[in-house]
Amino acid sequence: MRTTFSGKRIKGILGLLPHNEVFFEDETENYSFPAVQTMKLKKIMGYEKHRLVNDKAAVSDLCVFGLEYLFDKGILHKEEIDALILVTQSPDYFIPPTSNVIQGRAGLRKDIICMDINQGCAGFLVGLMQAFMLLDLDNIKQVALLNADILSRKVSNRDRNSFPLVGDAASVTIIERHEESQKIFFDINMDGSACGALIIPAGGFRQPSNVHTSELSDTGDGNYRSLEHLTMDGAAVFSFVQSEVPKLIEGILQYSNIGKDDIDYYLFHQPNKFMLEKLADKLKIPYDKMPMNVVSNYGNSSGVTIPINIVHNLSSLLVDEQLKCCLAGFGSGLTWSSMVMTLGKFDFCEMAVTPY
């Protein structure tokens, strides 16, 4: 589904990280594979270190910290937030919505729209889409888009397929009406028939938790996880990304009538370095236009990797300049989405480390 948006801009982005940083080498003993074999993955996949929240942290903690950080700096004023969107796959509770929890803890107005969206690797773009739509309503002038995931708590630390690359993070993105902004081009696709490629099988209502669903077992390939842990069919996900994402990018560029070389940066979701290099090679995009360093620095925090990518790589540029960017998110659902838009000049673009 392709569509356009007008008269909107991103005012600024704040990236939020857990303070706990763990190195890949320190976790190799958790896996049942020889350490020498495991270490070979370091260079290929871009494993270096990742940020993991503590045992007590929840998504609302990171988000409230971020909002209060911006309030304290005078960058954001709580009375000006007309809507709050939270994109997460790791809510504080099944009930109530975590966006409501955040609204209450942050002391926001009671006459605002709060909304949780359960989306993963494409979630930041889905959140932007929702923010843009809300800004077309009367009396909505500013939207706070929160994107946060702490999936390290749902990935087995004995699963070498997934644990080295998982990371926790959050972001606060402020979006507002801005008549002079250039048109935004958007594309989104869904394939629920392949939803099993990225799934946490138990703990929801399809298969509620019991004593058996939390038991670790050998999955047959030397990795250990339970039914309440994230299961990723690596081959299926890789095949999906290589098959669909090049077409997605070619399509959005054609739709926006913008040449590949006219894009300043390709800001993609960050699954791992190997997959991104293959995409760049296929699309003939030079590596310096497609940052691939989020996993090695922070881990894969699902949809949040896009705002973290922006803040980590482009913060100093985006406060001073405008950049034509192509964003893309692809993953659980399966969902894949792209957006061509001008980013900058931002009022703020920075990273903060939380106490969680």
Enumerate helices (H) and strands (E) in the chain, giving the number of each.
Answer: 8, 17
> In whole angstroms, how close is the CB of 246 to another protein at the nearest point?
8
Considering beta carbons, is residue 219 or 322 the nearer one to another protein? 219
> In whole angstroms, how close is the CB of 164 to another protein at the nearest point?
10
> In whole angstroms, how close is the CB of 69 to another protein at the nearest point?
38
Read off φ and ψ for residue 152, nearest 5 degrees: -60, -25
Tokens of 166: 């998982």
Considering beta carbons, is residue 214 or 242 the nearer one to another protein? 242
Considering beta carbons, is residue 31 or 132 the nearer one to another protein? 31
Distance CA 97, CA 295 (A): 29
Contact positions toward another protein, by CB under 8 A? 40-41, 44-45, 160-161, 221-222, 234-235, 238-239, 241-243, 274-275, 277-279, 281-282
> In whole angstroms, how close is the CB of 223 to another protein at the nearest point?
10
Three-class secondary structure of residue 34 per DSSP: coil
- Please say whether the beta carbons of 271 and 21 come within 8 A: no
Considering beta carbons, is residue 41 or 58 the nearer one to another protein? 41
- Please say whether the beta carbons of 168 and 52 come within 8 A: yes
> In whole angstroms, how close is the CB of 199 to another protein at the nearest point?
17
Tokens of 297: 């620095």
**Burial code of 268-281, b = ≥16 C-beta within 10 A, e = fewer?**
bbbbbbbbbeebbe
| Residue 297: how many other CB atoms lie within 10 Å | 18
Considering beta carbons, is residue 31 or 124 the nearer one to another protein? 31
For residue 83, the surrounding DSSP H or E stretch is strand 83-87
Considering beta carbons, is residue 198 or 279 the nearer one to another protein? 279
Considering beta carbons, is residue 211 or 235 the nearer one to another protein? 235
- Please say whether the beta carbons of 265 and 290 come within 8 A: yes
- Please say whether the beta carbons of 78 and 108 come within 8 A: yes
> In whole angstroms, how close is the CB of 350 to another protein at the nearest point?
34
> In whole angstroms, how close is the CB of 44 to another protein at the nearest point?
5
